[in-house]
Copies of this chain bind each other. A is one copy, B any other.
């Protein structure tokens, strides 16, 4: 099952050095989820040849402009390009007012249903579920209410053992029930145990997105044992004071969070405009957590 993220923007508050504000496109089993939608996100999707119409769910972490100012433009373009299927938007309650006031004054009546779901800013918890995944909100600690998101794959069906299935000439149509645990009875009436013809499925994977936040252990329980953690790393650690007063995290702190959470991989992003070269942030993070990657725009990471 595909489980990967493409970075569309990794700049903090002000765009600079060709870095765009925050946005990521998550592909889970060919279903597309957009996380944050900074200004220019629809242009970034075009740049990387990603089809905006395939997105059905959008998650906005908070109402600082660099995380949502591209939303109304994207929703509007989807409308103009003929969308009819629903779009689900999750975000702070006030986002609904921001969207509505703009569509009201532009006299836009969307051709597709826009289903808005306000996220509780005070209580982490499940906000979405389908056959592939569950999504949970994570309460972060920023200047204004801000939530992260955790995307948790569901436990998959067991996998058929190819050699055994072929040796018994089991017809294809029996494979799904075999995966679900139903034994196979052959033409001679002999029972073949499903458990012996199948093996454990891949371990369900988990991706957490944490931006923007003051580094804290408060959300550690929410991201325990994630496979990949995206964590903001706005500053280098020599700017700790500035990071703290602006409710942001340093590259070193992000690595400490990833280590404490037991993550397998760390992506850092939301880089301050003061850093043209990002390698020092990467190096700093790797002193604590080796498997750190920079969330560079246009790059896709397997999760």
Contacts and interface: CB of A to CB of B under 8 A. Distances in A.
Given A39-B42, A43-B20, A105 B15 contact: no
Given A40-B40, A65-B76, A14 B81 contact: yes
Given A39-B43, A43-B40, A14 B65 contact: no
B39 A106 contact: no
A161 interface: no
Contact of A39 (B13, B39, B98, B105): B39
A299 interface: no
A144 B14 contact: no
Chain A interface residue number, banded: 35 or more
A46 B144 contact: no
A101 interface: yes
A72 interface: yes
A288 interface: no
A1 interface: no
Contacts of A163: none
A170 interface: no
A303 interface: no
**Most-contacted residue by chain B among A21, A73, A81 (CB, 10 A):** A73
A70 B102 contact: no
A39 B102 CA distance: 14
Given A70-B39, A101-B101, A15 B106 contact: no
A64 B79 CA distance: 13
A292 B136 CA distance: 56
B106 A46 contact: no
Nearest to A14: B77
25 contacts: A13-B76, A13-B77, A13-B80, A14-B81, A15-B43, A15-B77, A39-B40, A39-B43, A39-B69, A39-B70, A40-B43, A63-B102, A64-B106, A65-B73, A65-B76, A65-B106, A66-B73, A69-B69, A69-B72, A69-B73, A94-B105, A95-B105, A98-B102, A101-B101, A107-B143
Given A14-B81, A40-B40, A65-B73, 5 more contacts: A15-B46, A63-B106, A65-B102, A69-B72, A95-B105
